[in-house]
Amino acid sequence: MVLSYREALNQAMREEMRRDPRICLIGEEVAYYQGAFKVSKGFVEEFGPQRVIDTPITEAGFTGLAIGAAMAGLHPIVELMTMNFGIVALDQIVNNAAKIRYMSGGQLSVPLVIRGPGSAAHQLGAQHSQSLEAWFCHVPGLKVITPATPHDAKGLLKSAIRDRNPVIFIEAQLLYGTKGEVREGEYTIPIGVAEVKRAGRDVTIVAYSKMLLLALEAADQLSREGIEAEVIDPRTLKPLDLQTIVSSVKKTGRLVIVEEGWRFCGLGAQIAESVYSAAFDYLDAPIRRVTGEDVPIPYSRPLEDAAIPDRPRVIEAVKSLL
């Protein structure tokens, strides 16, 4: 069946909340407003206000509350109106959620999902347009998931909810209205497993979240020019399925990494280092990275467009390796 990205997320949470009464949803406007992006449409009517909980604008407070609830046996889902507001809750996420299992010697766990929209989305300004996944990936104890399609969003969110560890689940805001085929019935997708979204022989392109759609568009255009790119979606950034990426690079000999986040200390740098360590002898050219510019995302639409990767930049990067 065909669902939008937001519908797939709604379906995943609804199925899991029906399955397990310990699961609850907490965040700003998740109940009666049905979520800032309508992901929790119909939830308070079905599950009631004790399981679908509206909060004040206090990210550190309700994230800490959810961590305590998880330690006590519940399985909370925290919806942040934007992942940028996760910065306000960073102390709770980094110093509590990510560390409690380790510091308790495994006696306590934090089965918690923190989800919400990330990256730029048409003139939201510098404070609401950031791609912060590299921050979260840097922290031991956190899993980080960035699905690009409705099918992957549903299957991975269900796996995240069932996981016994804290999971950061980042949904690019511009993906909410996109549509795609979603498998009928019950299914999950394993955390930490990448997928080859398009087979090719000449170059490997690794891209995630909404950059995956950009990479697929670039690959289609390159194909018309006789260049066949293999496009890989990591889907999970931590743990990263390096084996799938390396296997592709060994076949193509070339790698382009596309990410919307800032270049310096970006996630692509980690992927590149890992590939160099594992497959250096198979590379026929240096690894290229296509990234966001190292600037706060501008409000001006032309400047915003200039700061974010686009299809011509991906195509140029591929051709420079050939």
DSSP of 36-63: TTSTTTTHHHHH-TTTEEE--S-HHHHH
Separation of CA 297 from chain center: 19
- For the record, the structure tokens of 1 come out as 């069946």
The DSSP bridge partners found for residue 98 are: none
Catalogue all structural domains in the chain, each as residue range(s) with its CATH number. 2-181 (3.40.50.970), 195-321 (3.40.50.920)
pLDDT the model gives residue 28: 96
pLDDT the model gives residue 248: 98
- pTM, full prediction: 0.96
**Helical packing angle, 267-279 and 242-252, nearest 10°:** 60
Average pLDDT, 10 consecutive residues per value, the chain (322 residues): 97 97 97 95 97 97 98 98 96 98 97 97 93 97 98 98 98 96 95 98 98 98 98 98 98 98 96 97 97 96 96 98 94
Catalogue the active-site residues.
59, 128
- For the record, the structure tokens of 64 come out as 């800490």
- For the record, the structure tokens of 130 come out as 């950031």
**Helical packing angle, 150-162 and 5-19, nearest 10°:** 30
Whole-number Cα distances in Å, 39 to 6, 11, 54, 114, 301 = 5, 9, 14, 14, 27
